[in-house]
Amino acid sequence: MAREMMFAEAMAAAIMEEMQRDPDVIFYGQNMAMTERDPFLKRFGKDRVRITPISETAEIGAGVGAAMTGLRPIIELYMNEFMLVAFDQVINEAPRLRYMSGGQVKVPLVLKAGFGFAAGWAGQHSNCLYHTMMGIPGLKLAVPSTPADAKGLLTAAIRDDNPVVYLHHYMLMLDKGEVPEGDFVVPFGVADIKRVGSDVTIVATAWMVKKSLAAAAELAKEGISAEVVDPRTLAPLDVKTIVTSVKKTGRLVLVDQAPRQSSAAAVIAGEVAEHGFEYLKAPVRMVTALDTPIPYSEPLERYVLPDEEKIMRAVRSVVAKQSVGA
Amino acid sequence: MMKAEALSSERLIWMYTQMLRIREFEERVKRTFAEHPGVIRGHTHLGDGAEGAIVGALATRAENDLVMPSYRCHGYPLVLGTPARNLMAEIYSRRDGVCGGFGGSMHLADPARHFPGTSGIIAQSIAHATGAGLTAQVKKTGQVVYCFFGDGSTKQGAFFESLNLAAIWKLPVVYVLENNQYQAYTHVSLEDANEMAGDPLSQKAQAFSIPGETVDGTEILEVFEAVGRAAERARAGKGPSLVEAKFYRLSAHGNAITVPPVPTQFPEHEAVEVYGNKAEYAEWKSKDPIVKFRTRLAGNRRLTDAAAKQIEDRVATEMEDAVQFSLASPLPRPEDAVKHVYA
């Protein structure tokens, strides 16, 4: 059974269902559960659903300690930038403690935050910071693009025995889609082919999946068949599905809302260069944000970020390369 | 109420023995740098001088209470029952180490003995201990969490945020501030507003409207009573307290950071090395908490010279065995390095 839901509803459903299933799951954050009308508070009580002071280090740090000692906290952090205030806990505590203890403790913790808000939030609230968390052994990173994945990946994150950063894109919050009801898990490290195609592989995450699908629909009118692959989790990263797609299409365009330097796109390009070079008929193209902070004014913001037009231009260029060479 | 005068001779002797075990363990770690150069890697921090604070506090524990200190962490698990062999083997980076050689001196962990793990980043473990208090509260385990940290930690945001959170949620945490008067090489008078104003550091508790008191950390029984009050309050659901135990670190902050092949070693205490203040060091050395407690026990006829000698011999044998066991323990298998990244 599936039902149409908004992205935000799908996440709430995952949390609600997991809290119902497992009494060790707790849920807290700033500016939440403020009154008794809150649906989580009503259902699970004030021990398991809490409002916190504006103290990210204590929120995340206490989450780490609670996870080490038997709870499974979900922390609502709102924006990925707010994790920066407590980045030691995210990068240098949660993912280290199991390893440093020789495997004696586990830290089942979900850090839930929005990102990539392209709506005039300017320099400090519009960022895509996932690339800063991709290279941290011990830390997992989920980046859903559809309501169904939003639920399935969040359920998997809550059930995972490791710290997971779960990032949801603010521009997708109101998107609707079919979401399976009841127990539904999207396993980590399994990319999803969002559109099947044969001429070019587009790899994209979150909002950029939506942009890439829109671009692919336009390109189809020009006779270009684009396959759109969504890794869904950046750590672990499903390199195999990406390389298999490149083997079929021979061309790769990587779309990433983050700046180009040290982006997820660059990491994936490196993997394909090592594991799929012989399949490439054209150079890899990366469509990323420019290497600037995010500006406030709309024309400036639009200039910096990737969009359908930029994706289409990149796809046309790699497809053209083949016809020239052939 | 936990009253020191109600402690049995047996319990007092146990406390004295634990202090001696910590001191002897730390002495053996220090000697390793000279006797077995290269065996200990990285940075090692000793707790000699802190024995009164550590044992005085832990003597108030109930059976399942958790203990979460900073990276200066050798003493606590010794008291909790982790074999000295496995602690020393970890510091020697051996396979029989309590963390299999994955953690080392700064990251000892023995969750089965109520010691979930430590952080090497100043003050961050205060937040972890606060979260352990949250677990105890949500799961209604009745546990109290003993959170130890140094005076330097109280200048970090993690300290302030954690105490505020624990206060508003009434978490069962006892915050034991081990004021050993030096944050690495910086004297407390150079960085603490309370100290500069002539106030005790425990005054910080007032910012969170929780009890705060300062005791002489070289007097184990004073620590015992103050921490006992805080633990009872926590166990009764009344929330956290801050207890400042003021004492003096008897060794340097840590072994000097050197690049191989230069052997790492402990220089003199910062009071002497950095500040040239031999008198300060000598004064505090004369307030050694172990010597003070032994004198008190001897005066009360709780501990005869013969019994004291017997304890010393037993502890020396135990720690010599820990050293020999650890030297003989194999190094980890290199390929095991990829284990334990994920659960």
Task: Give CATH for domain A192-325.
Answer: 3.40.50.920
Q: Taking CB atoms and an 8 Å cutoff, what residues of chain B touch A140?
A: 342
- Residue A30 contacts B where some CB pair is shorter than 8 Å: no
Q: Tell the residue number behind the tokens 């053209």, with chain if given.
A: A320
pLDDT at A324: 44
- Residue B338 contacts A where some CB pair is shorter than 8 Å: no
Q: Is A65–B109 a contact, with Cβ atoms under 8 angstroms apart?
A: no
Q: Is A102–B98 a contact, with Cβ atoms under 8 angstroms apart?
A: yes
Identify residue B231 by its one-letter amino acid code.
A
pLDDT tens-digit map of B231-260: 999 999 999 999 999 999 999 998 877 788
Residue of B nearest to A25 (CA): B138
Q: Fold match between A2-180 and A192-325? A: yes
Domain regions of chain A by residue span: 2-180, 192-325
- Residue B259 contacts A where some CB pair is shorter than 8 Å: no
CB A78 within 8 A of CB A32: no
Beta bridge partners of B140: none
Decide if the complex's ipTM is over 0.90.
yes
pLDDT at A323: 47
Question: Which residues of A are annotated as catalytic?
Answer: 56, 125
Task: Give CATH for domain B4-334.
Answer: 3.40.50.970
Identify residue A285 by its one-letter amino acid code.
R
Q: Tell the residue number behind the tokens 């000892």, with chain if given.
A: B108
Q: Is A138–B342 a contact, with Cβ atoms under 8 angstroms apart?
A: yes
Q: Taking CB atoms and an 8 Å cutoff, what residues of chain B touch A101?
A: 99, 102-103, 107, 109, 111, 117, 340
**DSSP assignment letter at B218:** T
pLDDT at A322: 53
pLDDT tens-digit map of B298-332: 998 999 999 999 999 999 999 999 999 999 999 99
- The pLDDT profile of chain A, 326 residues, written as one tens digit per residue, is 899 999 999 999 999 999 999 999 999 999 999 998 999 999 999 999 999 999 999 999 999 999 999 999 999 999 999 999 999 999 999 999 999 999 999 999 999 999 999 999 999 999 999 999 999 999 999 999 999 999 999 999 999 999 999 999 999 999 999 999 999 999 999 999 999 999 999 999 999 999 999 999 999 999 999 999 999 999 999 999 999 999 999 999 999 999 999 999 999 999 999 999 999 999 999 999 999 999 999 999 999 999 999 999 999 999 986 544 44
CA B183-B212-B271 angle, 5° bins: 25
Q: What are B218's two structure tokens?
A: 């070289």
Domain regions of chain B by residue span: 4-334
pLDDT tens-digit map of B146-178: 999 999 999 999 999 999 999 999 999 999 999
- Residue B343 contacts A where some CB pair is shorter than 8 Å: yes
CB B50 within 8 A of CB B247: yes
Q: Is B101–A97 a contact, with Cβ atoms under 8 angstroms apart?
A: no
Average pLDDT over residues B194-212: 98
> Which H/E stretch holds residue B17?
helix B9-35
Of A47, A92, A98, the CB nearest to B138: A47
Q: What is the DSSP string of A106-156?
A: ----EEEEEE--TTT-GGGSS---GGGGTT-TT-EEE---SHHHHHHHHHH
Could you give the CA distance from residue B38 to residue B260 in angstroms, rounded to a whole number?
Answer: 8
Kindly give, in sequence order, each residue whose CB lies less than 8 Å from that of residue A34, ignoring residues fewer than 6 positions away. Answer: A51
CB A159 within 8 A of CB A185: yes
Residue to mutate among A100, A105, A136, A140, with most B CBs inside 10 A, is: A100
- Fold entry, domain A2-180: Rossmann fold (3.40.50)
Could you give the CA distance from residue B244 to residue B241 in angstroms, rounded to a whole number?
Answer: 10
User: When comparing pLDDT for B262 and A23, which is higher?
Assistant: A23
Q: Return residues 36-75 of B near A (CB < 8 Å).
A: 66, 68
Kindly give, in sequence order, each residue whose CB lies less than 8 Å from that of residue A273, ignoring residues fewer than 6 positions away. Answer: A284
- Residue A70 contacts B where some CB pair is shorter than 8 Å: yes
Could you give the CA distance from residue B57 to residue B148 in angstroms, rounded to a whole number?
Answer: 10
